[in-house]
Structure 1
């Protein structure tokens, strides 16, 4: 026995074969659309789950701690290559170095560099130019002019304060002096007081072999009565 035609409430009559076909086609379309959305959601959730698992399971290497360098040991290794004593400042606890190198420029001319990290986690570098010409400071500082002068533990220094300059980098604050065959430059981002601490340690090393010191460019130097300002 044939099934009675479906009565459509909105029409108040049985639907025609064409209407039945259209209804079934629409239902099929909606079903497929729902399946597509559901599949996309499941695929996305699965992908996110895999990513989360990889993040949790895969061991990521930790960043290596900053290297610490014993500058006195490195200086002892290089000392046989240079006649002038290499600076090995003795500093209070909290000071570390992450680099110490001797750069040979020419026969009898070299730069001894120590990069220090201060107790406030700022940077200051000691550069000792050995056998260098008068243009050495220009090579290091460019066209920077001294802003004042100071004396720390008997050693006269030129001060180059460029903290207010635009992007001074590691030359925000510098001290420079010369002693016989060596020229010394301290420069970095550390507070004035910490740079002064390093300058005092350098002065103590210089005092071990007393020598008359002179500012870097005496003709351009202000009065050496200025004092280091603490920050």
Structure 2
């Protein structure tokens, strides 16, 4: 008889606990502001970092110019701690809501390409011309990329977007600065 009574008490306590929890959740939902239609992408400005990189880097730093406002920058880094592996990165969400980034480094080209493209591979002999420059086409499981290796710097435009978006970003790049 005691086991039966205890079992009923446990179920009753569980129902009361769920009711209290439901009231707390309802209060939070009603009184905490939320906007389900808001854009989850919070654009950032990268002009300060781009200026710093162009003053400091041992190579001409690529930054996009002339892209529409629908291209929103979401991440930027410049790391010059190792003068033999200076790295510039700026990431975007493109108008199709896909990720596109510009990556540059004066480090070992093969290691840098493998690291930032997550081990993409050269797509045969395919090339793309963008901004008057010839880029190698690379394909990977996560990212596709356009790669340009020059003396002292490797420039990569990579992303989840279609080739047209990568080409548009590559065409918008302007290289300036460098020591």
Q: Is the 8 A contact 1:110 1:129 kept in 2?
A: yes
Which residue is equivalent to 1:44?
14
Could you say if the C-alpha distance between residues 108 and 42 of structure 1 is closer, same or farther in structure 2, counting changes exceeding 3 Å?
closer
1:199 maps onto 2:136 in alignment: no
> Could you list the runs of 5+ residues in structure 2 that have no partner in the other structure?
none
Alignment counterpart, residue 72 of structure 1, candidates 47, 51, 55: 47
Q: Is the 8 A contact 2:100 2:159 kept in 1?
A: yes
Instruction: Kindly report the root-mean-square deviation, in angstroms, between the aligned alpha carbons of the 2 structures.
Output: 3.3
Which residue is equivalent to 2:134?
156
Per-residue displacement from partner, 1:57-94 (whole Å, max 9, x unpaired)?
Answer: 24679799544222223211333322433222121221
Q: Is the 8 A contact 1:82 1:108 kept in 2?
A: no
Alpha-carbon separation, structure 2, partners of 1:89 and 1:97: 10
Return the structure number with greater strand share: 2
Alignment counterpart, residue 117 of structure 1, candidates 77, 89, 93: 93
> Highest relative contact order (Cα 8 Å, sep 6+), 1 or 2?
2
Give the deviation of 1:36 after TM superposition. 6.2
Alpha-carbon separation, structure 1, partners of 2:120 and 2:74: 28
Alpha-carbon separation, structure 2, partners of 1:42 and 1:143: 58
1:144 maps onto 2:121 in alignment: yes
Give the deviation of 1:201 after TM superposition. 0.5
Tell me how many residue pairs correspond in the alignment. Answer: 166
Alignment counterpart, residue 102 of structure 1, candidates 72, 78, 92: 78
Alpha-carbon separation, structure 1, partners of 2:6 and 2:128: 78
1:177 maps onto 2:148 in alignment: yes
Which residue is equivalent to 1:55?
25
